[in-house]
Structure 1
């Protein structure tokens, strides 16, 4: 069992990245090999072809970030309301699940007028009932378009860091850069957070990898609000995981089965999707799989599919930190030693920050 206190580390506020690297693949890349985790290499993401080579298969999460951040005001008091769209309900059309925050207490029946950035981009939501940490609301008009009334759901720690530094946010830039170049949302429901490791990849870099003989396939995981939830239980294994919908289509399953090289997951979401695919009688179902996952990966986990991982630097007390530690000999202790070196060298952390590549 892993104490959640073991996932703590101190990060200078100055190393929280509030804007992405430009161009995307100019972000720094810390490379570590599991066979010799004491030796670190310091490169850039554009150098990936030096490490991911012919026969390897990159697995990408193709989900699309929706404009899920909501801003508005209460019609009765004029008080400011902020929120996050979580999805449509299974009930009548025009009903959403949303998380809301207001200076005043919100009650059933309250009406909030949402305002988008474009002229005339408005909608009204009426709070119908509370369900745990979110509200079920009715929307007027029923076909309100999140792309017009919503904003890019930049993580709260980035917004706080911007305010502390007096930086003005640029929603147009965030809309473009808090999205992978290959996002497509083919089957799923979209995401309220980006699969951040993929933010570093460019079409040009992916083209160079393909030309070098690297294979590529796509899965999908709809990143939910649980990705921001810190572990509050004393033991990591007792943390209640939020379900996240994911899909590994048949072509992705076959690509992984048939790869002559290593399976390199781009991001923890791709890795969790692959490791969540059922393994009946020791073999995958080749026609693919989709469903909700609550998989929590901690040190000691036996990896079935993933050989390597491209990932960002993650928040303290997060399930993502525990998961990355599970891929390294020495577990979380070794991972935090690597993080401390990254801090000493000025790597940028979190969603818009630099990257780490773990190889066998």
Structure 2
């Protein structure tokens, strides 16, 4: 494990590369699993199609998926003057900060938001819109209740209508800014994994976009186990690093939910664990560090700070021992699922305690995700990305895929 002093010497300029605009996939392929797939294993690179994935994952392995579901988080309201105000939902504040809870609220909710045209939205001004849900018309109202912190309160008419139905009926798909285009009707199903379930993400866990029911079926028939957890991907995932000393970057916090059956199965599993996406990897590694906290200090708040893994520890537990500690805590407290937050910043020097493999897309230059890939590939990311560029791979959210193995 690298010390804080060592990782503070990591420089952003070492993780830049040139990504031509025409290599950014602006639209999805017609068929999800037709995408290209590069494999990095034992220091060697090979090229495949994603529908060949079942032949690359050893029998007995476990794939861990993030089942978060993207909500249409971009809400557009119109002032009486005609000016449009955009409310981009970031994270819930009231009556709960837990995303899974606030999505089922049938009363007023408050969200921290990014607001387009903020200067034109006057204090105490209520913006309204109308939508038809389940055969009844609903009037949706939005009020800016805290300008400095960009807190927006939303309420609506109609009985027993949960907030998730409001955003589904009124919101637009929050496509990544680098696509440089507006969402189309096709994006609603395609910027979503086929196994998405838990509403609350404002960005898709894009590694999962390649999976089809056919690929999942072949993996199962090959005795590859699957587990699901939830990390609600936040807008911070697109925030570029601007500090040359990367540890100065304000790492975004994201909410995780893991149920006891998943923790139990992870604890018992002795073969390879493969994270489907960087979000699944960050959640799994965060779960490990929660076990460390329980073992070291009986701390039971599931919150992993940005640089916690780089502190000095006398001895660290094995994967199973750490997960056993989490499982024991959940059993003792009678808890069926745990909700936590993570700011974990995985960068070169990080020791991976859970994941043996990673399925992931190709990421932006100078991003936290490039640093994660660099850490997992022991610095070989540049060789992999150069090869992908040379072979006309498509990059970013709607782009092609990779499966990377721990050396």
> What range is the shorter-chain TM-score in?
0.7 to 0.9
Q: Does 1:147 align with 2:175?
A: no
Aligned length: 341
The superposition leaves residues 242-298 of structure 1 with CA deviations (integer Å, 9 ceiling, x where unpaired) of: 211112322222222322421000000100110001123332222464311111111
CA pair 95-21 structure 1, distance change in 2 beyond 3 A: same
- In 1, distance between residues paired with 2:35 and 2:128? 39
2:20 match: 12
**1:279 is matched with which residue: 273, 281, 291?**
291
1:166 match: none
- In 1, distance between residues paired with 2:72 and 2:89? 8
2:103 match: none
Q: Aligned Cα RMSD in Å?
A: 2.4
1:130 match: 147
5 Å-filtered alignment, 1:322-341, equals 322-329=371-378, 331=379, 334-341=380-387
- In 1, distance between residues paired with 2:366 and 2:122? 32
| SS of corresponding position for 2:147 | strand
1:50 match: 55
Superposition TM-score, scaled by structure 2 size: 0.78
Q: Does 1:356 align with 2:398?
A: no
The superposition leaves residues 300-334 of structure 1 with CA deviations (integer Å, 9 ceiling, x where unpaired) of: 001110110000111122211111111012x2xx2
Superposition TM-score, scaled by structure 1 size: 0.87
5 Å-filtered alignment, 1:195-344, equals 195-277=205-287, 278-280=290-292, 281=295, 282=317, 283=321, 284=323, 285-286=326-327, 287=330, 289-329=338-378, 331=379, 334-344=380-390
CA pair 205-178 structure 1, distance change in 2 beyond 3 A: same
CA pair 177-116 structure 1, distance change in 2 beyond 3 A: farther
Uncovered stretches (5+) of structure 2, i.e. residues with no partner: 1-7, 97-106, 296-316, 331-336
1:175 match: 188
Query: In 2, are the aligned partners of 1:70 and 1:114 still within 8 Å (CA)?
Result: no
- In 1, distance between residues paired with 2:291 and 2:267? 12
Instruction: Using the TM superposition, give the Cα deviation of residue 112 of structure 1 relative to its aligned residue in structure 2, in angstroms.
Output: 3.6
Query: In 1, are the aligned partners of 2:95 and 2:110 still within 8 Å (CA)?
Result: no
1:27 match: 35
| SS of corresponding position for 2:53 | helix
Instruction: Using the TM superposition, give the Cα deviation of residue 179 of structure 1 relative to its aligned residue in structure 2, in angstroms.
Output: 0.9
